[in-house]
Structure 1
Amino acid sequence: MTTNAIAPERTSTTGRTPVGTVIGAARTAPPPPLTRRAPALDGLRTVAILMVILYHLHVPRFDGGFTGVTVFFVLSGFLITTLLLGEHRKTGRIRLGSFWWKRLLRLYPALLALVVVGLLLWNWVGDYKGASFGPGEAAFIALTYTGNLFRSFWDTTQGVFAHTWSLSMEEQFYLVWPPVLVLLFALRARRRWLLAGLGAVVVGGSVAAGLLYRTPSGNATPDVYFSPVLGVVPLATGCLLALLLDDERVRTWASGVAGHVATWGGIVLLAVVTASIGDDWTQHASTFGVVLPLTGLVSAVLIGGLVSVRSPLSSALAWTPVSWFGRRVSYSAYLWHPLVIALLDPFAIGPWGTVWLVGVALLVAVGAAYAVEVPVEKARKRVREARRAVAADRAGRASATS
């Protein structure tokens, strides 16, 4: 995700920094995040989606691969908040309608394509990991972004569309957080209060998730895992990171040794936390009240390091094939891999069967991305260019007649 160059920031004269402003640093600070593309974050998306796929395939030593979803949530909170702050810094406002329309055009066509294919194949794949609904109801839940609510509050699942619960969580975040930020701008809320509020959400959500935990039967996933109470924790953690890095002093500090410590400490801790999760993770309240919130915090530390300093790790994640996959294919891979697993898993025997199944899932994801997402993006680009041409023509006529 990218933004245009952001205008120079202003210094508060009150000693208290409003949201969207910063205090000048003694030395030149790096520009705000996302004034240019961060390929390392695209590479991190690649790592996260591979973790999720290997978890769903029950690959040994990847029992904690589901934490890739937490990484995605933190990335979403960070990226969206950074973009909104950048827009406000540049234009003095946030256009909510434009934001929501862009999100819808970016995400919905691919989801719609998955649902259509899933319905066509429902007789073969619909009951993947159980289904509480028929195909029409399951499709409706997926397309209305309510899967997390049905899974957490009514203990139901949508078969091959069950994984869309995480998309629901993100879309609900997109609906709620930008208006909250607009309101805070209008009220000229102070940065310290917003940081404190987000911190309270993180801590409160973590505690509530632990208290709401109920031991499931067998290896079923507890309802609280899908709950907005827990889902908001990593999203708010990403928002918190974006607000911190919007401050010149923090960026200056992070551009030195602290950024390198965050990068390497973050990746090591993320690996340790993920590897420490066993196959009995559903049986412990601490998984939801401590481990997953901690995973979100560690992910934020890693992301902060990756966008602040150049390191061998950021270079590896920014390597073109790795970053390309994260940028272009990761969303499609998340959407389509459960359907591929449901369809082909009975034929994937042994380790080599898992290898070719992963390969097929990735090929399907690439094909779906270029069959659906790329044409939609090209169409959007043509519409934007046409509008600019019309606006330029009108401006030229107005200038000629004045």
Structure 2
Amino acid sequence: MLKKIPTGQVRIGMYVERFCGSWMQHPFWSRKLLVEDMQTLLRIQESSVEELIIDLSKGVDVSAPPSDPEVPPAPAFSEADVQNPEPALKPPAVALQRCSMADEVLRAQQIFRRGKQAVKDMFADVRLGQVVNAERLGELVGEMNESLSRNPHALISVARIKHKDEYTYLHSVAVAALMVGMARASGLSEPQVLEAGMAGLLHDLGKAAMPEAILNKPGKLTTAEFAVMQQHPVEGHRILLEWESASPAVLDVCLHHHEKVDGSGYPQQLVGEHISLLARMGAICDVYDAVTSNRPYKAGWGPAESLSRMASWHGHFDSELFQRFVRMLGIYPVGSLVRLASDRLGVVVEQGEGSLLTPRVRVFYSIRLGRAVPVQLVDLADAQEVERITGRENPDDWPFNNLDALWLPT
């Protein structure tokens, strides 16, 4: 038997058949779940869902004795709370059991395969004027959030790996993953984390309205072609206005992810905090994925090289948010080629638990000997380890192929 109840009457032991209202309002990737513990109850209470449907054949009714204490109201969100990077901010509610980098990378690869197809289908539906499966996109963002809860680096590291002919579709998936990671690192609430991920997934929707000859051009765009492409935020915003489930924040990121804090961006030349928090985050995530990706006309930069160059582009990004982004990825992100004090080269395979300067590195080449050496995993956070990183290296300066094979599981 199904029964509609207000959110305030939810109790542990109830079985939620579905949430009333938009999928964007509830913090779960699935519409059906058993309220098994206080954490799940809190997530429902903190969401903006006002009513839901419970199944009395699978769980308790409202009349059942409450098994939980009164839940205090969720604190109001303030943008100032996430702009100050110190001290550490409260993590989101989702806190699944942690797992190893290698195990989570395998799950992350599956998420990206499904994400690529979901975005590809979304673009096709938009071009044909058909209804987009928003529920499927919401589930994808929920899976990203859970992946980052199990391991904070696996998904965002896999996000960088894409073939040049996959860029248009996987870029949206990668930006969504980075946005979820950045929202979690900023201490945003669970619904806001999911909203940030959805904004990343839909930020380039306007490209579906761009001429395919320009969108897929294998060379650099002409001035006239670039002017056409600069309309994609406006076109995406126009398309999303027709979606009943698109929130104001998602609309805003779609329209303003190419704005720069010095006012030199487009389409409205907004300045500083006139650009919303999520749009400023989106600008960072969008550019990072673009410059680290292989595209038809340009090879991607290494992750550490990309962060270094982006840091020098004064006026492009919100400086405090960019610092938070660097802390999320690490000064030497997974996949970075680094030089060690011993004049050996290695690839960063995992971030350390403490300092950003002490990741785990897989060493494979001796500069002094001028040849490869037996691969060795060095944990720079080990108190007994005397090795240290002396600088980043540009992979283009070395004749190495497929450095990512040193950290991706086989």
Relative to its length, the structure with more helix (as a share) is 1
Same fold (TM over 0.5): no
Q: TM-score range by the shorter chain?
A: under 0.3
Q: Could you state the TM-score of these two structures normalised by the residue count of structure 1?
A: 0.27
Whose strand proportion is higher, 1 or 2?
2
What is the TM-score when the length of structure 2 is the normalising length?
0.26
